[in-house]
Chains A and B, each alone.
Chain A
């Protein structure tokens, strides 16, 4: 079994799992005033400090959430609502055209249901936003923009964005800048304060923590209207009883992966480069999608001309190899990836793509297993696509 889908979710780190189990054995609501509650609160606050330290933030800037999707929704909608409440003129959202659905669909919802104007930033063939494109939008609409959101690195093709340059442009215009760093933490250096962002999304299960816990790092002076109303546990921006064991395990995982990032990037990056070189050799007409520089070290993304990605996935799955077509599903049906389309790929190239993502448990044997199965799978997938009437 070769697990090559770490960008979807990665195995929990042993220390994170242990921390989870230890905290889960204890009782205590962090909002309770008695000893048990104070103990749980202490675990939560220590975790907040560890995450803040690992990611270059102040502890008070860490707002715990249920994960990446909630954090992205909170940032996009919450900051939009707060800014428009302050001035009706702030009625525009700017986002890149390669955002994760958690941002993209939240922004589209603002357009459809809140009357927001939306500007989508184009990307180049590598999936990268050109800062001059943002500068142009700010020039044109600066007074109207409520919030700007551009991911730190893309979940499908692994391209890293020039976050520092983009956030500097936003800051100069006085516009809050949000970045979804779900894929970036532990893979590349991530420092919230240094990035200049007003808000940043992180999540547990991409860094060896549990699913269902994450955070929005939110600058202290950034106004944000809550999505969830209730006890106001997290700075009155987010309500809900805190998941103490989840938070503890999340913090353990963030701390460990950030500490190991440099060594990890070198080791996994070399594995990835080997994978890419061998896939290119085995399938000479393969297209390598995404950036060559400024790319997540574990990400390899290809289009296999003449194949359907889901056929390849099935054939590799049958050989014990787990990968992803890297696209959104509805009833399990693959839609052509909006990321590849934004990068200028046509429908066929988008549908013929596969994502292989390495992670902390990956070894050379995983790459060997892929290369043993891939040529036969590509040949069969090509036969399977050949009968189809051209679209």
Chain B
């Protein structure tokens, strides 16, 4: 129970359904004062109190579990390391995977509980498969798709068949004081919302070059490649204008050479996405389905193939701003019961099929970027490995480019 409205209503519904429910608030900050203060986040003393009051109203026991060390290791340190490696992590997804449905679930099961109930907006079918919420705008299946079948079998999501507005109305009707509490959108462990500053404090300044993908020419400098987002246009402060006079976008980040590569909007497009660590729920592949490449991002039709430890998606229409480190989630369309999550994996690269590349000169001119030390490669059209700082450039990027990638709460 984060202290927000969703988990409060989820707990109340589980209690009403006859479960023997215990409320747990996770203390995730090593010093409870250091994470965000105020009503819009989690991890504060005030949120802990809000959660406790909700538990009182529902009539269930309530405890605070200290998961600060696990959270720091599995989520915060990982977040920084991923950026340092030129990838774009989604800390909320990671928290679901490693904290809520691992550290908390394992402890709860050992203590004799049967399941973990959360206020996520997603549905769980009788088939044990995850589905989108009825509320498209609030759907969180993307950040839950990382859960294995085993974990899903121990999960209960009571809110999937309700819209956020219905949840708020129900909270008010139940007398839960958090009914009007604002939604949280930012990363809970970055108190001021300044991801760039946070990374700078953790990683230090690291000046390097900004290079044009087609000409290989140095067109500017930067103070740390981690501060750039694939698809970012503004704030690049380029000294050399493009030959065609058109705006340029960040295509990729290459930690090995500490280089930010920029190019045209067209160069952002990819149609082949490769990903690692697939969680797949048994659908035979290749399968034609939809894929989503970032939280609240567009859905693209694709042919997905899972082969051992690799998932490959051939996009039937190109996507822009595909960032390594983000999840690719495959859905089977189902307007009735909610789109079904077939599986997910962590993106290692987005590339353009050679036949689609306009101008082979681009291939030759692009730096042979090897990103992240994890074998993810940045090919001709760039966008192989990237860094997207939440809040950095989020309002400055072109349409179709992520807004605050990795900052989806939940």
A binding-site residues for B, Cβ under 8 Å: 310-311, 314-315, 317-318, 330-334, 380-381, 383-387, 391
A384 contacts which of B25, B64, B111 (Cβ < 8 Å)? B111
Q: Which residues of B contact A330 (CB under 8 A)?
A: 32, 45
Interface string of B50-78 (1 = CB under 8 A from A): 00100000000101111011000000000
B24 to chain A: closest residue by CB:
A314
A317 contacts which of B61, B64, B68 (Cβ < 8 Å)? B61
B31 to chain A: closest residue by CB:
A330
Given contacts A331-B27, A334-B66, contact A311 B61 (CB under 8 A): no
Q: Which residues of B contact A380 (CB under 8 A)?
A: 110-112
Q: How far is the CA of A387 from the CA of B104 in the complex (A)?
A: 11
B52, B61, B63 — most chain A CB neighbours (10 Å): B63
Other CB < 8 Å A-B pairs besides A334-B66, A387-B106, 20 of them? Answer: A310-B66, A314-B61, A314-B63, A314-B111, A315-B111, A315-B112, A317-B61, A318-B61, A331-B48, A331-B64, A332-B27, A333-B32, A380-B110, A380-B111, A381-B111, A384-B110, A385-B110, A386-B110, A387-B110, A391-B69
Q: Which residues of B contact A384 (CB under 8 A)?
A: 106-107, 110-111
Q: How far is the CA of A387 from the CA of B107 in the complex (A)?
A: 8
B25 to chain A: closest residue by CB:
A332
Q: How far is the CA of A380 from the CA of B22 in the complex (A)?
A: 16
Q: How far is the CA of A384 from the CA of B107 in the complex (A)?
A: 5
Q: How far is the CB of A118 from chain B (nearest CB, A)?
A: 23
Cross-chain contact A332 with B64 (CB below 8 angstroms): yes
Q: Which residues of A contact B66 (CB under 8 A)?
A: 310, 333-334
Main secondary structure on B side of the interface with A: mixed
**Interface CB pairs A-B, < 8 A, 24:** A311-B111, A314-B22, A314-B61, A314-B111, A315-B111, A317-B61, A318-B61, A330-B45, A331-B32, A331-B48, A332-B25, A332-B27, A332-B52, A333-B27, A333-B32, A333-B64, A380-B112, A381-B111, A384-B107, A384-B111, A385-B110, A387-B106, A387-B110, A391-B69
Q: Which residues of B contact A314 (CB under 8 A)?
A: 22, 61, 63, 111
Q: How far is the CA of A318 from the CA of B23 in the complex (A)?
A: 12
Q: How far is the CB of B290 from chain A (nearest CB, A)?
A: 36
Q: Which residues of B contact A315 (CB under 8 A)?
A: 111-112
A317, A383, A385, A386 — most chain B CB neighbours (10 Å): A383
A332 contacts which of B63, B106, B111, B112 (Cβ < 8 Å)? B63
A333, A384, A387 — most chain B CB neighbours (10 Å): A333
Q: How far is the CA of A318 from the CA of B111 in the complex (A)?
A: 11
> Nearest 7 pairs between A and B by C-beta?
A332-B64, A384-B110, A383-B110, A331-B32, A333-B66, A333-B27, A387-B106
In residues 167-222 of chain B, which contact A (Cβ within 8 Å)?
A: none
Q: How far is the CA of A317 from the CA of B112 in the complex (A)?
A: 14
Q: How far is the CB of B98 from chain A (nearest CB, A)?
A: 12
Q: Which residues of B contact A383 (CB under 8 A)?
A: 110-111
B66 to chain A: closest residue by CB:
A333
Q: How far is the CB of A316 from chain B (nearest CB, A)?
A: 12
Q: Which residues of A contact B27 (CB under 8 A)?
A: 331-333
B44 to chain A: closest residue by CB:
A331
In residues 121-179 of chain B, which contact A (Cβ within 8 Å)?
A: none
Q: Which residues of A contact B45 (CB under 8 A)?
A: 330-331
Q: How far is the CB of B47 from chain A (nearest CB, A)?
A: 9
A381 to chain B: closest residue by CB:
B111
Q: How far is the CB of B347 from chain A (nearest CB, A)?
A: 28
Interface string of B264-304 (1 = CB under 8 A from A): 00000000000000000000000000000000000000000
Q: How far is the CA of A389 from the CA of B60 in the complex (A)?
A: 30
Q: How far is the CA of A107 from the CA of B65 in the complex (A)?
A: 30
Q: How far is the CA of A300 from the CA of B145 in the complex (A)?
A: 48
Q: How far is the CB of A326 from chain B (nearest CB, A)?
A: 16
Q: How far is the CA of A331 from the CA of B31 in the complex (A)?
A: 10
Q: How far is the CA of A333 from the CA of B32 in the complex (A)?
A: 9
Q: How far is the CA of A330 from the CA of B33 in the complex (A)?
A: 10
Q: How far is the CA of A314 from the CA of B112 in the complex (A)?
A: 11
Q: Which residues of B contact A310 (CB under 8 A)?
A: 63, 65-66
B62 to chain A: closest residue by CB:
A332
Q: How far is the CA of A334 from the CA of B66 in the complex (A)?
A: 8
Q: How far is the CA of A387 from the CA of B70 in the complex (A)?
A: 12
B22, B32, B63, B112 — most chain A CB neighbours (10 Å): B112
Q: How far is the CA of A387 from the CA of B63 in the complex (A)?
A: 20
Q: How far is the CA of A384 from the CA of B109 in the complex (A)?
A: 8
In residues 16-44 of chain B, which contact A (Cβ within 8 Å)?
A: 22, 25, 27, 32
Q: Which residues of B contact A333 (CB under 8 A)?
A: 27, 32, 64, 66, 68
Q: Which residues of A contact B111 (CB under 8 A)?
A: 311, 314-315, 380-381, 383-384
Q: Which residues of B contact A386 (CB under 8 A)?
A: 110
Q: How far is the CB of B260 from chain A (nearest CB, A)?
A: 37
Q: How far is the CA of A125 from the CA of B25 in the complex (A)?
A: 35
Q: How far is the CA of A387 from the CA of B65 in the complex (A)?
A: 15
Q: How far is the CB of A5 from chain B (nearest CB, A)?
A: 15
Q: How far is the CB of A333 from chain B (nearest CB, A)?
A: 4
B69 to chain A: closest residue by CB:
A391
Q: How far is the CA of A386 from the CA of B106 in the complex (A)?
A: 10
Cross-chain contact A311 with B25 (CB below 8 angstroms): no
Q: How far is the CB of B51 from chain A (nearest CB, A)?
A: 10
Q: How far is the CB of A312 from chain B (nearest CB, A)?
A: 10
Q: How far is the CA of A391 from the CA of B70 in the complex (A)?
A: 10
Q: How far is the CA of A311 from the CA of B104 in the complex (A)?
A: 12
Q: Which residues of B contact A387 (CB under 8 A)?
A: 106-107, 110
Cross-chain contact B107 with A311 (CB below 8 angstroms): yes
Q: How far is the CB of B44 from chain A (nearest CB, A)?
A: 8
Q: How far is the CB of A175 from chain B (nearest CB, A)?
A: 36
Q: How far is the CB of B97 from chain A (nearest CB, A)?
A: 15
Q: How far is the CA of A108 from the CA of B107 in the complex (A)?
A: 36
B67 to chain A: closest residue by CB:
A333
Q: How far is the CA of A380 from the CA of B45 in the complex (A)?
A: 29
A317, A318, A331, A386 — most chain B CB neighbours (10 Å): A331
Q: Which residues of A contact B107 (CB under 8 A)?
A: 311, 384, 387
Q: Which residues of A contact B110 (CB under 8 A)?
A: 380, 383-387
Q: How far is the CB of A315 from chain B (nearest CB, A)?
A: 6
Q: How far is the CB of A31 from chain B (nearest CB, A)?
A: 37
Q: How far is the CB of A122 from chain B (nearest CB, A)?
A: 28
B47 to chain A: closest residue by CB:
A331
Q: How far is the CB of A10 from chain B (nearest CB, A)?
A: 22
Q: Which residues of A contact B61 (CB under 8 A)?
A: 314, 317-318
